């Protein structure tokens, strides 16, 4: 069984976001991590490796620095890392990103492709389903449980007020929720392997069956009209009062606003 996991290196928004003076994101000043949903997807793949001896290949698209997440994945137990990087791929929206990754995936054999549901920088949740469409395979998004049964995969697919148990013949693409599992830590042996591991690097020429017009900034149907810091509503009043005064204060405000 062959499993390919798509991961993304993202800024760690938990530690706060830093901006350049011109208002753009200061990526260099921020720590990067493997996107949490992707990490859960990787863990799901590694469990298939533990259970069925699946071969796990990890693919990422990004700047050369994104090689770091591939080494992290190998340190966790992945077999192979492929970095897709090329100047002409920069500035891609989700359409062009999914075209790029589909172009890379066409070079690989797979029974399952696992992506995270969404990345914490863009939060779009689009790239997984779009890849599946380009490859002509079924997609199951929002996976909270994954099992294999013969040549099929059985997945619990989360919705707001329910879940569906879905069965699809492989090959199939699954998008993983961070809730899927608790990702394992890197092992000392794994870190040693990761340090030595050879990372395969692919550029534009290595992408299969993709037109130039579908890649990078020029191949992106969506364009940014404007980007800015979030303008927050102004701070209201802040008071430090002892409890009974505080209650009187809140009661006054609620009455003033006709809440009670």
Partner 1 sequence: MNLEEYKGVFVFAQQVDNKVSGIALELIGEGKRLAEKLSAEVTAVLVGSDVKGLADELAAYGADKVIVVDDPELKEYRTEPYAHALASVIDKYKPEILLVGATAIGRDLGPRVSARVHTGLTADCTSLEIGDFPINPVPGKEQKHNQLLMTRPAFGGNTIATIACPDFRPQMATVRPGVMQKLEKKEGAKAVIEEFNPGFTPDNKYVEIVEVVKNLTDTVDIMDAKILVSGGRGVGSPENFKILDDLAEAIGGTVSCSRAVVDAGWKSKDLQVGQTGKTVRPNVYFAIGISGAIQHLAGMEESDIIVAINKDETAPIFDVADYGIVGDLNKIVPMLTEQIKAAVANK
- For partner 1, the binding residues in 47-106 under the rule CB under 8 A are 93-95, 98
Distances (CA, A) of 152 to 113, 115, 167, 170, 203: 13, 18, 7, 5, 33
Which residues within the stretch 100-159 sit at the binding site for partner 1 (CB under 8 A)?
Answer: 120-130, 132-134, 136-142, 154, 158-159
Other CB atoms within a 10 A radius of the CB of residue 201 amount to: 15
Closest of 38, 12, 7, 42 to residue 27, by C-alpha: 12
- Interface with partner 1, residue 233, by CB under 8 A: yes
The residue (of 65 and 169) whose beta carbon lies closer to partner 1 is 169
Task: Write down the least CB distance from residue 80 to partner 1, Å.
Answer: 27
Task: Write down the least CB distance from residue 208 to partner 1, Å.
Answer: 17
Round to whole Å and give the CA distance between 178 and 160: 16
- Interface with partner 1, residue 237, by CB under 8 A: yes
- Interface with partner 1, residue 31, by CB under 8 A: no
Round to whole Å and give the CA distance between 59 and 27: 21
Q: Which of 1, 108, 168, 191 binds partner 1 (CB under 8 A)?
A: 168
The residue (of 63 and 241) whose beta carbon lies closer to partner 1 is 241
The answer to whether residues 206 and 61 touch, using CB atoms and an 8 Å cutoff, is: no
Residue with tokens 């589909």: 102
Which residues within the stretch 201-230 sit at the binding site for partner 1 (CB under 8 A)?
Answer: 220-230
């Amino acid at each position: 069984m062959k499993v390919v996991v798509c991961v993304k290196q993202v800024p760690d928004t938990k530690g706060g976001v830093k901006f350049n003076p011109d208002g753009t994101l200061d990526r260099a000043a921020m720590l990067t991590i493997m996107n949490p949903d992707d990490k859960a997807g990787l863990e799901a793949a590694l469990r298939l490796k533990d259970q069925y001896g699946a071969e796990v290949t990890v693919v990422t698209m990004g700047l050369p620095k994104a090689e770091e997440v591939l080494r992290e994945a190998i340190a966790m137990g992945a077999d192979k890392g492929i970095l897709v990087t090329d100047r002409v791929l920069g500035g891609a929206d989700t359409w062009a990103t999914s075209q790029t990754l589909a172009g890379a995936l066409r070079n690989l054999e797979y029974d399952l492709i696992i992506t995270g549901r969404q990345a914490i920088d863009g939060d779009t949740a689009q790239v997984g389903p779009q890849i599946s469409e380009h490859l002509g395979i079924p997609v199951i998004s929002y996976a909270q449980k994954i099992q294999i049964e013969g040549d099929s995969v059985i997945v619990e697919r989360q919705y707001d007020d329910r879940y569906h148990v879905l069965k699809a013949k492989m090959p199939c693409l699954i998008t993983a929720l961070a809730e899927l599992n608790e990702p394992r830590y890197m092992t000392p042996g794994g870190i040693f392997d990761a340090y030595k591991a050879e990372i395969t690097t692919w550029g534009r020429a290595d992408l299969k069956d993709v037109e130039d017009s579908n890649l990078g900034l020029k191949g992106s149907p969506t364009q940014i009209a404007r980007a800015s810091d979030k303008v927050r509503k102004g701070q209201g009043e802040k008071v430090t009062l002892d409890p009974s005064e505080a209650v009187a204060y809140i009661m006054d405000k609620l009455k003033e606003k006709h809440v009670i």
